[in-house]
Structure 1
């Protein structure tokens, strides 16, 4: 299994803007066959080094994650997040 984690820092980190972005991420659930699980978390600490949102997704294989990356639903999310994010970081790793 492959776990893909992305942290987002938003340009507007007001509660409404963060919740809206979280909703866009959550809307992928059930729309992409290769996406085995999805979790979206909102930061509760709000420290200087905090990011606003965490996206945690899981896939059966690297090939499944690659299919997700180019899926039209995910491409729309990428376009949206590209407009609202200040920065993002990611990590991908093999997991159980």
Structure 2
């Protein structure tokens, strides 16, 4: 397998609703229609099985790091981050790696 993977986990601020999380998920999923560099994008709310987990995850697969960077810097992605994620995020962890 070859490619480039981006994984980001979010912990939401206290008081964040399930509806807000689902809205973030929908907005992120919608990016696949406007950013052609996205290979696959998987998003999900934590299942609540283990205490202390992050609340939300995004896993994106791209052809290479340049495709990831195009996604990262794309105005549509930046808008989702600025308008929907930043207002409710409390903590974030991310990693990118070659497949």
The question of 1:84 aligning with 2:88 is answered: yes
How many residue pairs end up in the alignment? 95
Q: How many Å separate the matches in 1 of 2:32 and 2:66?
A: 19
Structure 1 runs, 4 residues or longer, greater than 4 Å off: none
Residues 24 and 80, structure 2, Cα contact 8 Å, conserved in 1: no
Report which stretch shifted further, 86-95 or 38-47: 38-47
Q: Following TM superposition, by how much is the alpha carbon of 1:47 offset from its aligned partner in structure 2, in angstroms?
A: 4.2
State how far apart, in whole Å, the 1-side matches of 2:47 and 2:12 are.
15
What is the distance in 2 between the residues matched to 1:78 and 1:16?
16
Identify the residue that residue 67 of structure 1 maps to in structure 2: 70
C-alpha distance in structure 1 between counterparts of 2:35 and 2:92, whole Å: 22
What is the SS of the residue equivalent to 1:36? strand
| Structure 1 SS opposite 2:79 | helix
Q: 1:23-62 residue pairs with structure 2 within 5 A?
A: 23-45=26-48, 47-62=50-65
Q: Could you tell me which runs of 5 or more consecutive residues in structure 1 were left unpaired when the two chains were aligned.
A: none
Q: CA deviation at 1:37?
A: 0.6
Q: TM-score scaled to structure 2, two decimals?
A: 0.85
Instruction: Indicate the RMSD between aligned Cα atoms, in angstroms.
Output: 1.5
